[in-house]
Amino acid sequence: MRHGIGALGGIALGTAMLALSVAIAFSVGRFPVGFADLVRALWAAASGAPSGLSPAAEAVIFNIRGPRVVAAILCGAALAVAGAAFQGLFRNPLVSPDILGASSGAALGAVLGIFLSLGIFGIQALAFGGGLLAVALVYMIGSSIRSGDTVLILVLTGVVVGSLLGAGVGLMKYLADPYNQLPAMTFWLLGSLAGTDRSDLAPLFGPIALGTAVLLALRWRMNVLSLPEEEARALGLATGPIRIAIVAAATLVTSASVAAAGIIGWVGLIVPHMARFLVGPAFGRLMPTAALLGGGYMLAIDTLARSAAQVEIPLGILTAVIGTPVFIWLLASSRKTWT
Amino acid sequence: MSVNRRAAVVGGLASIAAPHIARAETLTDAAGRAVAIPSRMERVFPAGPPAAITHYTLQPRTLLGWPRANRGAELIYLDPDVATRPELGRLTGRGNTTNLEVLLQLRPDLILDIGSTARTFVETADRVQAQTGIPYALLDGRFEAIPASYRLHGRLVGETARAEELARFCEDIVATCRSRVAGVPRERRPRVYYARGPRGLDTGLGGSINVETIEFMGAVNVAGGTRGGLATVSLEQVFAWDPEVIITIDREFAGAVRRDPSWAGVRAVTEGRVHLSPKLPFGWVDFPPSVNRMPGLIWLGKILYPSLFPEDLVAFTRDFYARFYHRTPNDVQIAAVLEGRE
């Protein structure tokens, strides 16, 4: 049963990669501020002495790059943990956090907000609410159908409702003003953290902290849940309430990250595979490793997105371009470590 | 419903068979296509916003409707009879929302599109003309081409005298601006960031149609180093550019940026040089890409080179609106335009 590098090794490696990502993220960017400036600014903030940095450099550290680094870590960790939980819950390695319609619901909420010319907070609130509502709807429909495999029916309901919500997004784009609203919708759907500022962090942190805490607390029981349902029942585990808790927590973190960053695929799909490749499938060590790797991975990608060119590269495009070959490689090399 | 459809088909056949098209003289449009000039010119269908606006300025009585209904404050600045005509959808190469059967029922004498003459649009025009039998003219919508397009437009719809007057007026504005800006040395041209979207982080890259007016006025577009269309940039990049002037079309952003601590260090914000563009009844700076952007040149000139543009913007606006939009706004209405109200 020994897989890869063990629990402590996984956490140590995840932490090291996250720390490396943070160091790089603070050292590069379009504005000339480096890691040394960060240290000076932090020291000045702690000691109260003047940092000697220009106000613009301080603004970049505390108002622009800093919040963005934090947001990227939070979103990446959230998507990775939610993805790992769903892959276990649905016993399927191809599942990602949007399988129950959270992303589609959030997308519809956001494009509706843009269509109604709401402010940033309004758009994010509609996106967050849309994600939660979509999954609630899927869960209600899925659990009211009493035939066959509960989990399979839930997944199929998610796919169907997700494509209906996708049609709603299409309708909004069709009705939108082509000069102004349509580009805004397109950009939002491609995913970006370009606009993140400090006021975005609280609404992001709250749901992600809560949801991730629930998922981490349940990680020991997930091992049993990923067995076929009869076996889990035979082991004396009430699968229903745990499943609801996992779905609710994963939806909470996914909706919060989609509301802040737009649609970002792949992270929730491939990071759990990376983590499983490193520490094996037992959730006790998989979940913390996935959280750390997800934060570091997302941060690395966002750093590339904001510093490769004068223009931002949409996160959804970068994650797909990087994610596809990584996923194929993982499939080829980690076949045996699934289940 | 079946009655409507039958009427549409009959209408279509009638148009195809109508003798006035067969006998008509032809004209070469901006895409090099031969378009029959209709002998009867009572009903013009605009394929998109630039065509609707331009045709409204030239010959409002024949305009069948608008791609999107005018609403709210927009109506104040337009001839009430024409401004309230129905919403018709778009008939451009992409984002096509017009139903061709509905189009036939409207019995247009001419379909007019002003904009790109790229192949997508040429083929759309050919196809719709073949399907409906209605002449479809494609005119060049580029900023520089506005006077020439007016003259061609005038010949198409039998309004040459007025078309000449409007073309001359546009030529004068363009020539005046060009000659004043030409004398400004490069180091005295302000570096401008064009902000769109509620975050103000969408911008027009070099050569994009969105910044055509800003670049025409000789400003240095800070995002002009990369060529392309619209793109998102990071706030950090805006700090690195440190623009002297910010031009925005987004009222939400213009209101928030002055209080937003994240933007506090940007020079244009510190120096109070963030400007919200007028957009009633049609935008002055970015969209729709049509003659509505002409007053935007003078507005930008006064922002970028205050000493070179002594024009009284209120008087200029009154004159332009009376001449092009067929309605003379009062001072309160002009003030609302200049504040960037929507």
Task: Give residue-wise pLDDT tens across range A105-114.
Answer: 999 999 999 9
Quick one: which of B31, B126, B122, B52 has its CA closest to B282? Answer: B52
Question: Quick one: closest CA in A to B282, which residue?
Answer: A179
Please judge whether B239 and A64 are an interchain contact, meaning their C-beta atoms are less than 8 angstroms apart.
yes
Q: How far, CA to CA in Å, does A152 sit from each of A83, A136, A163, A218?
A: 17, 17, 17, 22
CA–CA min distance B110, chain A (Å): 24
Q: Which residues of B165-187 are buried (b: 16+ CB within 10 A; e: fewer)?
A: ebbebbeebbeebeeebeebeee
Query: For residue A241, what pLDDT band results from cuts at 50, 70 and 90?
Result: confident
Beta bridge partner(s), residue B231: B203
Report d(CA A317, CA A147) in Å as an integer.
39
CA–CA separation, A278 and A74 (whole Å):
21
Pairwise pLDDT comparison (A240 vs A170), residue with the higher score: A170
User: Locate tokens 């608008």: which residue?
Assistant: B66
Mean pLDDT of the region A34-55: 85
Cβ separation of B235 and A64 shorter than 8 Å? yes
pLDDT in tens, B82-123: 999 998 888 864 456 677 888 888 899 999 999 888 888 888
Distance from CA of A68 to the nearest CA of B (A): 10
Residues 6+ apart with CB under 8 A from B41: B62, B109, B110, B157, B158
Where are the extended beta strands (E) located within A164-236?
none
CA distance, residue A194 to nearest chain B CA (Å): 5
User: Do the chains contact at B198 and A119, CB–CB below 8 Å?
Assistant: yes
- Beta-strand ranges (E) seen in chain A are none
DSSP state of A227: S
Q: State mean pLDDT over A181-187.
A: 89
Q: Which two tokens stand for residue A322?
A: 């990087």
In whole angstroms, give the CA distance from residue B111 to residue B248: 33
pLDDT at residue A221 greater than cutoff 90: no
The amino acid at residue A167 is A
Report the residue of A27, A28, A31 to disrupt the B interface, i.e. the one with the largest count of B CBs within 10 Å.
A31
Chain B residues in contact with A127 (beta carbon < 8 A): none
Cβ contact A27:A308 at 8 Å: no
Residue burial A134-151, b: 16+ Cβ < 10 Å; e: rest = bbbbbbeebeeeeeeebb
Most confidently predicted of A30-34, A115-119, B125-129, B189-193: B189-193
Q: Are B194 and B223 in contact (CB under 8 A)?
A: yes
Residues of A in contact with B196 (CB under 8 A): 180, 183-184
Of A63, A179, A311, the CB nearest to B262: A63
Query: What digits encode the pLDDT tens for the residues B140-159?
Result: 988 889 999 999 999 999 99
* B202·A183 Cβ contact <8 A: yes
Q: Which of B202, B286, B288 is closest, CB to CB, to A187? A: B202
Percentage above 90 pLDDT, chain A: 51
Report the residue from A59, A198, A310 with minimal CB separation from B265. A59
Least confident range from A53-62, A135-144, A219-228, A258-267: namely A219-228
Residues B248-265, mean pLDDT to the nearest whole number: 89
Query: What is the pLDDT confidence band of residue B24, given thresholds at 50, 70 and 90?
Result: low
Q: Is the pLDDT of residue A90 over 90?
A: no
Evaluate if residue B260 carries a pLDDT over 90: no
Tell me which of B262, B269, B270, B342 to substitute to probe the interface with A (most A C-beta atoms closer than 10 Å): B262
Residue A257 has pLDDT above 60, yes or no: yes
Number of other residues whose CB lies within 10 A of the CB of residue B264: 15
Option in B199, B232, B265 nearest A55 (CB)? B265
The DSSP 8-state label assigned to residue A255 in this structure reads: H
- Cis preceding linkage at A93, omega within 30: no
Q: To the nearest whole number, what is the mean pLDDT of chain A?
A: 88
Q: Which of B119, B303, B275, B292 is nearest to B212 (CA)?
A: B292
Closest CB from A29, A119, A184 relative to B236: A29
Mean pLDDT of B213-237: 93
Q: Using a CB-CB distance cutoff of 8 angstroms, which residues of chain A are in contact with residue B97?
A: 174
pLDDT tier, A199 (very low <50, low <70, confident <90, very high otherwise):
confident
Radius of gyration of chain A from its Cα atoms, rounded to whole angstroms: 20
- pLDDT for A3 equals 54
B250-254: average pLDDT: 90
Q: Is the pLDDT of residue B241 over 70?
A: yes
Residues B25-42, buried b or exposed e (16+ Cβ, 10 A)? eeeebbbebebbbbeeee
Chain B interface test: which of A120, A180, A182, A313 (most B C-beta within 10 Å):
A180
- Cβ(A44)–Cβ(A58) below 8 Å: no
Distance of residue A212 Cα from the nearest chain B Cα, in angstroms: 29
Identify from B237, B238, B263, B285 which residue to disrupt to test chain A contact, counting A C-beta atoms within 10 A and taking the largest count. B237
> Nearest CB to A310: which of B198, B225, B256?
B225
Q: Decide: B214 and B193 in contact? Cβ < 8 Å.
A: no
B286-302 mean pLDDT: 94
Residue A248 burial (CB < 10 Å; 0-12/13-18/19+)? middle
Interface test with A, best of B239, B250, B270 (most A CBs within 10 A): B239
ipTM: 0.78
**CB contact burial B115-153 (16+ within 10 A = b; e otherwise):** bbbeeebbebbeebbeebbbbbbbbbbbbeebbebbebb
**In the prediction, which pLDDT does A55 show?**
81
Distance CA A202, CA B342 (A): 32
CB atoms A187 and B197 under 8 Å: yes
Task: State how beta strands B274-276 and B245-248 pair.
Answer: parallel
Mean pLDDT of B255-264: 88
pLDDT band at A225 (very low <50, low <70, confident <90, very high): confident
Residue B278 in this model has a pLDDT that exceeds 50: yes
Q: Do A178 and B95 touch (CB under 8 A)?
A: yes
Interface touch B264/A59, C-beta < 8 Å: yes
Which one-letter DSSP state was computed for residue A62? I
With beta carbons less than 8 A apart as the criterion, state whether A127 and A110 touch: yes
3-state secondary structure chain B: CHHHHHHHHHHHHHHHHCHHHHCCCEEECCCCCEEECCCCCCCEEECCHHHHHHHHHHCHHHECCECCCCCHHHHHHCCHHHHCCCECCCCCCCCCCCCHHHHHHCCCCEEEEEECCCHHHHHHHHHHHHHHCCCEEEEECCHHHHHHHHHHHHHHHCCHHHHHHHHHHHHHHHHHHHHHHHCCCHHHCCEEEEEECCCCCEEECECCHHHHHHHHCCCEEHHHHCECCEEECCHHHHHHHCCCEEEECCHHHHHHHCCCHHHCCCHHHHCCCEEECCCCCCCCCCCCCCHHHHHHHHHHHHHHCCCCCCCCHHHHHHHHHHHHHCCCCCHHHHHHHHCCCC
Kindly determine whether residue A31 and residue B232, on different chains, have CB atoms separated by under 8 Å. Answer: no
Question: What is the enclosing helix (H) or strand (E) of A195?
Answer: none
| Residue pointed to by tokens 């609130």 | A125
For residue A334, the model assigns a pLDDT of 59
Q: Largest alpha-carbon pair distance within chain B?
A: 68
Q: What is the pLDDT of residue A6?
A: 72
Flag whether pLDDT at A336 surpasses 70. Answer: no
What's the whole-model pTM score? 0.84
Residue B238 predicted with pLDDT over 80: yes
The reported pLDDT for the residue numbered B166 is: 97
Query: Given the DSSP bridges, would you call strands B230-232 and B202-204 parallel, antiparallel or unpaired?
Result: antiparallel
Q: How far is B200 from chain A (nearest CA, A)?
A: 9
pLDDT at B6: 45
pLDDT of B20 strictly over 70: no
Angular region, A60: left φ>0, alpha ψ -120 to 50, beta rest: alpha
% of chain A exceeding 70 in pLDDT: 95
Q: Which whole-number Å values give the CA distances from B233 to A58, B123, B200, B202, B237, in the listed order?
A: 20, 35, 9, 6, 7
